[in-house]
Chains A and B, each alone.
Chain A
Amino acid sequence: EAGVAQSPRYKIIEKRQSVAFWCNPISGHATLYWYQQILGQGPKLLIQFQNNGVVDDSQLPKDRFSAERLKGVDSTLKIQPAKLEDSAVYLCASSLEAGPYEQYFGPGTRLTVT
């Protein structure tokens, strides 16, 4: 069974530039999550999708971050414009459904903002 795929694996940009991350969840998984993990901290949930609808985006900085999940499969997370404090690993995860189900995480995208 293929795992959660993410690209790119690494990205370096200058502040005020824009960047986009892509995630392909495990086939058949209805729920998709984006997390931000700053060095030395645990992952923080940014947004949760159920199929192509947003369930929870309470911790997403909506002035600069946006995410979509068209057709309820792949998802993209965008930052525009980036700030130095956005340097982090961005993790995508998926689960069969929302609730107490195992979440499968991708390898993450390491973003460095200079």
Chain B
Amino acid sequence: DAKTTQPNSMESNEEEPVHLPCNHSTISGTDYIHWYRQLPSQGPEYVIHGLTSNVNNRMASLAIAEDRKSSTLILHRATLRDAAVYYCIPSYGKLTFGQGTILTVHP
């Protein structure tokens, strides 16, 4: 499994953009970059995933570095409901969750 490094915690204000970084320097060529989040007392929830190109969906955008050794999850306008633990997981399919980044959103 590729080793990942994420900040332990980040803070944001409501309605501001949030950029969550992830380093995965040992990612293999076939690994996708998956992002999941887990709200308090809930199971993890899929956010987005990509292989090489940047990806957008209704929840977020994923920016992938050209060498694929890092990526950034972008929440365009944070809401209070986005407060969660965000996990970055480089993998073909099997999800190995690390500690993730705890995102706090202030009103």
Contact = CB atoms under 8 A, between A and B. Distances in A.
A107 B43 contact: yes
A51 interface: no
B86 to A, nearest CB: 11
A25 interface: no
A43 interface: yes
Contacts, number: 48
Interface residues of A, number: 21
Interface string A94-114: 000011111111111000000
A19 interface: no
Contacts of B44: 43, 91, 93, 103, 105
A50 B36 CA distance: 22
A42 B97 contact: yes
Interface residues of B, number: 22
Contacts of A104: 46
Q: Is the interface of A mostly helix, strand, loop or mixed?
A: loop
A101 B91 CA distance: 11
B26 interface: no
Contacts of A48: 94
Max chain A CB contacts within 10 Å: which of B34, B44, B49, B85? B44
Contacts of B99: 41-42
- Residue of A45, A100, A106 most packed against chain B (CB within 10 A): A100
Contact of A56 (B94, B97, B100): B94
A102 B85 CA distance: 18
Contacts of B87: 42
Interface of A: 4, 41-45, 48, 56, 91, 93, 98-108
Counting from the closest, the 6 A-B pairs by CB-CB distance are A42-B97, A105-B43, A99-B93, A102-B46, A100-B32, A43-B97
